Structure 1
Amino acid sequence: MGLAAVFLLAALLTWAARGYALRRNLFDQPGERRSHKVATPRGGGIAIVVSQLMAYAVIGVVRDELAGVLMAFSTGLLLVAGIGWWDDHRPLSARLRLCVHVVAGALLGMLVWQASGDAFKAFFSALLAIGLINVWNFMDGINGLATTQAILAATAFALLLPMPHAGIALLLATGCLGFLPFNFPKARIFMGDVGSGALGYLLAGLVALGITVTDIAWPIWLVPLTAFLVDSGFTLLARMRRGERWMEAHTQHLYQAYVKRGRSHAAVTLDYALFSVAGLTLCAASGELPPVWGSMVALAWAVIGFCIWYMLRNRIVR
């Protein structure tokens, strides 16, 4: 019943966000650094953010012992979503956005430190939050891609987490499902920075939860994120190696390159989904492995992801 309410709320709020964007003239315009061809309203990701915050509020009331943790995590989410919402209305400097992301990441790290007393886990969680906020922003460039990857990653985390923690992952997947019909296969609204950054932070929160409440090897928690981590990470390294201004918007990610070659948004999104479904299956099969073996499996999957990215990238270049 609770998941159905989250789905309906996210769908209703996405519809409302589209109307708001049309009235306020909030559009992403086509251009050389864009992968779409028509002006499209943006900011629909606010629906996912609100659906999650309201769910956390209800959980905090029902489960008093979780209220403090959820309040702190919600504060970080509000910071990330808030700066993204502001940026969707009036572009802000990259430095200001990064400062807010660092504060939100630090909040997540503090929560992990408080729960585990493990400095490595706390630092890893904070750094991952900052990274995923920006990775999801970089990779949110075609219809449905960022949303479907978040759904699949959250589903994988739900399979790995014990109950009731798995329910938090399902809340995220359900909220994204409420937004998805408005963004895929045809985009009637884009997620915007408010949504892409929030998804990155929410997924980092699920990873932080996983490494805190389970003994599963921490690299396993990165397997569902491999598609985005490989494409964004190695594209960034390639741009830095060429001496380009890597902070500027571009269309050099693998998914963007394929769209420029004429492959449809839907086909590329489904290609990435197929890879991530394989990763999800691997996660489900590896959750019970000893940490050393789990780490080796995750490393092998990362190498496979890189090899696929490198092969496809070279094919496009040629």
Structure 2
Amino acid sequence: MKIYVLVTLLLAILSYVYLKLAIKFKIIDKPNQRSSHTKITVRGGGIIFPIAILLFFILNDYQYPYFVLGVFLISVISFLDDIYTLSSKIRFPFQFLGVFLILYQVDYPFSPIYLYVSFLFLGIGVVNMFNFMDGINGITGLYSLAVISGLFMINNTENIVDNNLLIYTAISLVIFGYYNFRRKALFFAGDIGSIAIGLFMYFVGFLMAIKLASPLILLIIIVYGADAGNTLLYRKIFTKESIFDPHRHHIYQKLVDVYKISHLKVAGIYAILQLLVNFIVYKTYNLKLSIQFIVFFALIFIFILGYIFLFRKIKQDLALKNE
């Protein structure tokens, strides 16, 4: 317990120091077309996420070195992106390397190569998904805590990863929430926070799914996945926009913009939905593989239908409002 208190105090101090330094050196987020906020705010507050992972590494016998190296590399380039806005041609190789190091840490075999490549791109997708979904106050911190709670429940039973990795990261999310879970946030996670936490989620979730032979565990991030994935398909098929262009097509953005629901309520809705899925996954992840696949595809189908229903309803309500 003493070590958790020490980690909490250290991360709390570092978060406060970062806030003051970011203000001094103008590491700020200016509202743009994609933003759901209207005032300039400090960005990069999620720097405490990779610091928490580094603290775990140092204080717990240097476990998972390749994963930690991946987090370090991707965090450095993401922090530079927060400051200077780097090209995707610079960022993508580091994301690729980070996910490659995760697969190496998990000791996932190169053969068959098509599966290996698929999991590489899945990891890059998860990392960017957490980045794309980091658009309103509270959502990154609250949703990530909901995901970690599901991972923690399974890990408490199966003991796949060191629980301290989950606990240290959860502590950093709670401290981040102190600054971000507000009507007017003091700072945002930034790319360094959202991408680092995405890499963390992929490592723990993928490791558990492989070790337990349970594809259901991947649904621990289905709420984000449904919004990000369906929005990507919508943009590619209907709007023909570049996936790199700023946009406001995510459901969480529309709930804020069209229905004027507060950021914190929307963040709470996403977290609660994920907690419900966590419960289903926890009760079914160790069943026969055939049953797991039925539950897996049933939940995906439900979320796709839910996305389509919500998107159409929002579009109709917006049209009525503009008449």
| TM-score with structure 1 setting the length | 0.91
Residues 245-265 of structure 1 deviation map (CA, whole Å, 9 limit, x = unaligned): 221121111101111121110
Residues 18-51 of structure 1 deviation map (CA, whole Å, 9 limit, x = unaligned): 1111011111112332100111101101111101
Q: 1:101 aligns with which of 73, 81, 95?
A: 95
> 1:212 Cα deviation (Å)?
3.5
Q: Distance in 1 between matches of 2:116 and 2:180?
A: 34
Contact persistence 2:33–2:246 (CA under 8 A): no
Partner of 2:241: 244
**121 and 59 in structure 1: CA distance in 2 versus 1, 3 angstrom threshold:** farther
Q: Distance in 1 between matches of 2:67 and 2:38?
A: 37
Q: Distance in 1 between matches of 2:140 and 2:314?
A: 22
Matched, 1:308 2:309: no
Partner of 1:79: 73
More moved, 171-180 vs 129-138: 171-180
Partner of 1:138: 132
SS in 2 for 1:272: helix
Partner of 1:172: 169
Partner of 2:159: 163
Q: How does 1:213-228 map to 2 (within 5 A)?
A: 213-215=211-213, 217-218=214-215, 220-228=216-224
Identity %: 26
Q: Distance in 1 between matches of 2:286 and 2:149?
A: 17
Q: Which runs of 5+ in 2 are unaligned?
A: 317-323
Residues 138-187 of structure 1 deviation map (CA, whole Å, 9 limit, x = unaligned): 00000011121111111111111223625033332222112111100331
Q: Distance in 1 between matches of 2:178 and 2:111?
A: 41
Matched, 1:154 2:151: no
Contact persistence 1:33–1:251 (CA under 8 A): yes
Partner of 2:320: none
Q: Distance in 2 between matches of 1:5 and 1:182?
A: 20
> 1:123 Cα deviation (Å)?
4.4
More moved, 3-12 vs 99-108: 3-12
Q: Distance in 2 between matches of 1:10 and 1:301?
A: 37
Q: 1:91 aligns with which of 85, 101, 122?
A: 85
Q: How many residues align?
A: 308
Contact persistence 2:146–2:272 (CA under 8 A): no
Q: Distance in 2 between matches of 1:223 and 1:144?
A: 21
Report the aligned-residue RMSD. 1.9
**295 and 237 in structure 1: CA distance in 2 versus 1, 3 angstrom threshold:** same
Q: Distance in 2 between matches of 1:85 and 1:5?
A: 25
Matched, 1:235 2:238: no
> 1:126 Cα deviation (Å)?
2.7
Partner of 1:259: 256
Contact persistence 2:27–2:43 (CA under 8 A): yes
Give the aligned residue type for 2:15: T
**259 and 113 in structure 1: CA distance in 2 versus 1, 3 angstrom threshold:** same
**122 and 172 in structure 1: CA distance in 2 versus 1, 3 angstrom threshold:** farther
Q: Distance in 2 between matches of 1:135 and 1:234?
A: 11
Give the aligned residue type for 1:51: A
Give the aligned residue type for 2:223: A
| TM-score with structure 2 setting the length | 0.89
Q: Distance in 2 between matches of 1:146 and 1:231?
A: 14
Contact persistence 2:66–2:104 (CA under 8 A): no
